[in-house]
Amino acid sequence: MEAMGSPQTYRTAIEEVAYTGQVVCIGDAVHDIDLPTHLVVKKEMDIMGSRNASADDFQAVISFLQQASNQHQSAHFPGSKARRSVFGPGLLVSASGGYHENIGKNGLSETRVRQTPRNKHLKPSHSLWLECTSDFIFSGLRQAYFDQFSTCRHRKNVPMHRKARRSARLFPSWRIDVHPPKPYPQKTYLRRSRAPRHRAPISFPMKSLLLLCFLAVVLALSGCETATVPPPPNVVFILVDDLGWTDVGAFGSSFYETPHIDAFAATGMKFYQGYAASPVCSPTRSSIMTGKNPARTQHTQYFGGPQPQDVKPGHWSYGAFGDRPLLPAEYLPYLEHSDTTLAEAFKEAGYRTFFAGKWHLGGEEYFPENQGFDVNKGGIERGGPYGGDKYFSPYGNPRLEDGPPGEHLPDRLARETAAFIKANQDTSFFAYLAFYSVHTPLMARPDLEAKYQAKKDSLGLEDQWEAWGPKPDNRTRMVQCHPVYAGMVEAMDQAVGVVLNTLDSLGLADNTVIVFMSDNGGLATSEGHPTANLPLRAGKGWLYEGGIREPLIVRWPGHTAPGSTCETPVISTDFYPTLLEIAGLPLKPGQHLDGSSFVPLLQGSSEAHETLLGWHYPHYANQGETPGTAFRQGDWKLIHRYEDDSYELFHIAEDMEEQHELSAEYPEKVAELKAAMQTWLDESGARYPTPNPNIEGGR
């Protein structure tokens, strides 16, 4: 026989008694009509678990269980001949969390109490959980091994001469590999049985019962010697809009002040080659939610950008050059419901899910609340804060109530996030804070704008430009000194600080994974040219490094070394499998087809991280880029532009500035990467630009 406590033994025990998710019920005779076999143990004696349990104690437990199970047929609820049924599979009960009471139709009540190290307010003298389980052998089981949720039921409205009964139901931890329970309506826990009035005999073998119960006791008593298994980690994902690679102090900025982000970086891991899946916003956001590259999902353009039919002859409109030789590729302007979003994956596991800020992934049918988020604060189809007074209240946002006049949007989003965390501190949560900052329109708080204007003047900084690109206003900012943009960056940093301080004050920081990233490069070549991405080339909208390399910081307490750095490339499609693995949840390889977990990197491994590094942007960008595709393999990066069928080759490890084009020197490398790029695009079902019929010679 395998050693007690091994996963295989556990599964076998579950299967032999035909249970799919419930381990044991002790106390009241409970008829679980929705489970194929009934495990009922009537309380006959008090046996308390002990840190110093002996072999005699184990034998006493077995004898007790045997006696109790033999008496199950005579057990019934007092005051009625009708059987009462109690059901509620472990996953549904575990999804509730917190402390509240449900009164059932049959006079039974169910009190669900989650008592973990985070529930310090549940004192033993006031905890119904402790009161209930104090009568049972398995009082230590939940804390030692089944570390998530249990259910304590006690009888109400019983005859005066009978004592109210109590029972403890222990469900398997989310970490245990067992068959999932059947789905039941989440708000229905108590109902009248459909069972006949006589109780059918127990059909499972006693040996299996003893194996199951003995295993549970072993786990309980052995677990008392070690620390409680921590609950599944919370996840806070912070995404900033249009923030450049060097736009925070931790990544080299000396003009923008970001003390909260810098302090956070010192406690986590910085990725110097963290990539967005696209040089523009919506595709990257889609890649985070789906784990798929935009070429596969057809989310290659920002939603609301021009489709081929939108291009008019002879003029430029919203990123489409009417006088250019190509029409942009058609793209899908919404996040399909057929995808299981990252939020839905967390929600399936019992997490509370929250979204605040910029969504930009489709119309109302595709808003966050329809994509797995329990709460949506401000997520709509817009790509920027274009309603009302924009970055100040009133916002004109149908998913965000107006605040006091003049309230600043990043402050509001941070407060909403903090409020959600406080309200859900006793259950695991996934909070996605996607700032509208620092996207245009350029608007800063007056005090911060004045601060940075004074700083610019005192340092003697002047705007410097380098002109290049197909549009007349294509010029690249060479110095970070824009006062308004700097004020927007600092306001965003202050908002991040609100969220971080909330986690600290609630004692949640040590069990919360935090990701900080931008959705694309900083805006350096158009629309006010507010920031500089040097030493990287270009910025938002471009396939050069300035458009796709982002400041990425991850903190996973107990796993990421404080102040550590990583030079290995990772990309936004990797977040989906990475966060699932961190949370101990099953991966979904059929969903995150293009993502690869970088958990080993977070834990300091030097092993290679294999992931797809490809950027398909078959569109004309507002910032000047022409339709093209970039593909990186190892240290080599190839860019293919479709207008003239040209190729550029760079060795990123030695030339991240992309100043030395090497295609003529390494034609064999061009051919190698070209073939790999085409294989990827074909497998993804990528769409391409087409000849513009209004232009003679359009290809």
- Give tens-digit pLDDT for 123-178: 332 333 233 333 333 333 333 323 333 333 333 333 333 333 333 333 332 222 22
Cβ burial of 534 (10 Å; 0-12, 13-18, 19+) is buried
Token couple for 27: 């106390």
The answer to whether residue 328 scores a pLDDT higher than 60 is yes
Top-confidence residue, 688 or 21:
688
How many angstroms separate the CA atoms of 31 and 19, rounded?
13
CATH number, span 234-691: 3.40.720.10
Over residues 361-400, the pLDDT tens digits come to 999 999 999 999 999 999 999 999 998 889 999 999 999 9
Cβ–Cβ under 8 Å, residues 553 and 265 = yes
Token couple for 390: 């924009």
Residues of the chain with CATH 3.40.720.10: 234-691
How many angstroms separate the CA atoms of 577 and 597, rounded?
5
Measured on CA atoms in the order 31, 32, 37, 38, is the torsion positive or negative? negative
Cβ burial of 1 (10 Å; 0-12, 13-18, 19+) is exposed
pLDDT of residue 260: 98
Token couple for 49: 């678990």
Cα–Cα nearest to 358, from 294, 292, 422, 440: 440
* E strand or H helix at 263: helix 259-265
The answer to whether residue 515 scores a pLDDT higher than 60 is yes
Q: Which residue has the tokens 């798929």?
A: 292
| Length reported for the chain | 699
Cβ–Cβ under 8 Å, residues 624 and 609 = no
> Which residues, at least 6 apart from 316, have a Cβ–Cβ distance to it below 8 Å?
322, 323, 471
How many angstroms separate the CA atoms of 149 and 16, rounded?
24
The answer to whether residue 57 scores a pLDDT higher than 60 is no
pLDDT of residue 601: 98
Q: Mean pLDDT throughout 607-630?
A: 95
Token couple for 99: 């402390």
The answer to whether residue 92 scores a pLDDT higher than 80 is no
The string over 502-527, giving b where at least 16 C-beta atoms fall within 10 Å of a residue's C-beta and e elsewhere, is bbeeeebbebbbbbbbbbbbbbbbbb
Over residues 443-452, the pLDDT tens digits come to 999 999 999 9
